[in-house]
Structure 1
Amino acid sequence: MAVAQTNYPGSSPGTDPIKVMVVDDAVVIRGLLSRWLDADEGLKVVSSQRNGKLAVDDIERSNPDVVVLDIEMPEMDGMTALPLMLAKKRDLVVIMASTLTRRNAEISLKALSLGAADYVPKPESNSEVTTSVDFRRELIEKVKALGARTRRMRAPVRSMRAETSAGRVNSQAPVGRLSAARETLRGTSSAAPVPAQAKSFTLRPYSSARPRILAIGSSTGGPQALQKVMREIGSAVHDIPVVITQHMPPTFTSILAEHVGKAALRPSKEGVDGEVLRPGEIYVAPGGKHMILEKDGGAVKIRLTDGAPVNFCKPAVDPLFDSVAKAFGSATLGLILTGMGHDGAAGVKTIAAGGGSIITQDEASSVVWGMPGAAANTGMCSDVLPLDEIGSKIIRILKGNLR
């Protein structure tokens, strides 16, 4: 099936192609994914394997930048192969591929906690895989974006002292390897980062109004980042609702809501159409629907809509942020975490226009600095912070300490 050539994030004409290994026990799928990836001038398939054992044995010889790894395979499955691959190549990008069953969704989210960079949900049947333009686009987009990032991580960087001035902030560019971002998310990083050239952003003052809601947008790397932040702020959000849009398909979002709730020790579930927001509860936009808020008398209700994708995403962050700003105005606190693309940037402007405040994750701690980078570059954020500092900052804001 022909698809027009697209310059996905991370593609750079004239540079060496990103090397990819495809691991899947189905010969039809393995061949199809390999052809799709090889057809892009920014990518080169260097290995194609039918199970995890053969893939692990071939890592050193083929030396891929990215592995697309199936979960269910004979002899050695993807979850068994994952840590063995990362042990052989610490900065290897592994993207899990699985069909949309609850079991595979659980396994995919567990894989993220064990070092996988992301996942790609596969359609249920081979025929659906063959004809799915969205699956092909998402696969190539993620391989290119994550592969390009890990290459940048290997490049030598020069140090520069971060300087701050009134209304400006310096955010450090990515340092070390992609594994450094993974280790930050897993809470295992102990090495101090070596800063690269600093980037400066215009910041807005925080709203003087105490937040009455926390709205969060995230994508690639988001599940781990969300659990870390919610674990830290769970006790502080007892009297405000938290609404989350994470780019995920159906089934995945219900499991994510469970995981986030366990991390925060708070009630957490997918949003339900017509439900009234309750303080101290967490609501995750369900996969395949946009979640927005609307006022209904003195209450604020969730509405689920089945409109077209926004920024190629459904659910998308922009519709949620726009509606939160309308419902809560200057009492809105928004947060943009790691993710590809620019979804949420328009919503950040809307929140700022309504007098609310936005925090965005910095580049060094993001798995992909697309969404947070786009938000930071609007000049409408109040802080650009490492993931390790976001939770404590939110707690201070909720207590009325804006410093």
Structure 2
Amino acid sequence: MAWGVGANDVANAMGTSVGSKALTIKQAIIVAAIFEFAGAFLAGGQVTSTIRKGMLDANLLSGQPELLIYGMLASLLAAGIWLLVASRAGWPVSTTHSIVGAIVGFAAVGVGIDAVQWGKVGKIAMSWVISPAIAGIIGFWLYISVQRLILNTSEPLKNAKIYVPFYIFLVGFVIALVTMFKGLKHVGLELSTTQNYIIAAVIGFIAMLIGIFAIRRLHFDPEADKDFHFTNVEKIFGVLMMFTACAMAFAHGSNDVANAVGPLAAVVSIVESGGAVAQKSAMPVWILLLGGTGIIIGLITYGHKVIATVGTGITQLTPSRGFAATLAAAVTVVVASGTGLPISTTHTLVGGVLGVGLARGMDALNMNVVRTIFLSWIVTLPAGAILSILFFFTLKGMFS
């Protein structure tokens, strides 16, 4: 399962950096591996929701702990296999939806329809449409603003020195919020929402001051042609995009990777407690290490396929376009965290890239790739469910 997470979800976070040529694939894999592993191990949390986001009623399973063990193992196998199939094909699918489909499948058929909290499942299904739509709208207008304020002007470099500091503030502000809301929520920092926003604003302001100082120190030949100025402006956006991508990788590692290995934590908890079924359980360090190692292996082996789809398959990216797409995804994560909306990081990132492509017109999008991605999203939940049901009854038949 962790292998599949690394090959698919992690690759998404770095797709824009590679597609815009801000990083090579090798560099992106190294950077993603460092930040994902750090997020999973340092901020992955000591307690995890063993029954994914409260989707199952633990009370219905208290008398049959072995069913939960079979179900969680079946879910890991099903979601992991589907993620590897999708990654090999280069489809950016959702880890969240893969494991959700798998758990719903075994619970509905193996335990009973009432065992599934269908309201929770409905909210997650809504995120299929909502998260890419929000990210797409934000990415569209972000890139439009970059075009109108900087790129499509007679003096792009001069205007970059004026407006880029405001984008730097936005990057610092959003990165801080993503890290606090998603990346550090497990480490015991008891901060209110207001405190989080104040700290993020201060970090954004400091980043803006540093940016102003750094940009003023840049000296370019005013007699140079416009292409030379464009290249230097794009380099600035490339740096901003990489900072945002690293923050997304850390937040993803701390949040989604811990959730992905949650079913294993559930099995270990049941075995160690002698059969007690709990809604939450301790997350042993060795499981976080196992998850972190698995994502790195997945990223190295299959990650390049999904990176290619997100980075070059949907639309042609430059650093400024990649910046708009990545920041749009990060803003969507912040909005979702504040409102409690369950979202998929994968869908959000793809939505951001689509929005940036649309800002350049429909012709800028590769509709064949877009159709394939949407189809893979639709298939993910039922694929996870069907595989999980097969594995559940196989395990039950072998060990009951």
TM-score normalised per structure 1: 0.21
**Larger Rg, first or second structure (1 or 2):** 2
TM-score normalised per structure 2: 0.21
